[in-house]
Amino acid sequence: MTTMYGIKNCDTIKKARKWLDDAGIDYQFHDYKKDGLSEALLDQWLAELGWEALVNKRGTTWRKLDDSLKDNMNEANARQVMLENPSIIKRPLLDTGSQKVLGFSADEYTALHGN
């Protein structure tokens, strides 16, 4: 089962969900705000994708962080920040079970799902 992780009111999430719906792809949506984020799941993503890829440095949550934290970001404090503020994780994170894709690109989703 494909799972999309993100936040329901995010514009990019809305575009990605519409793409999946229009393509007839069955998926489950996991909303960080409603469903939370487990340490085990985050640790799995960190091991597979790395904290640099996961942290969205373009978003509001990043901009609100203290400059000294941003300047000294590493895996340990990035992990803590993501657990406390899952909205800082790049969205969407699509997990097909065999592959994970960060962000939304119609071309990438098409290649992933063969549509």
Active-site annotation holds for 79: no
Q: How far apart are CA 73 and CA 35, in angstroms?
A: 26
Contacts of 78 (CB under 8 A, 6+ apart): 51, 54, 55
Catalytic residue among 4, 10, 89, 101: 10
**Catalytic (active-site) positions:** 10
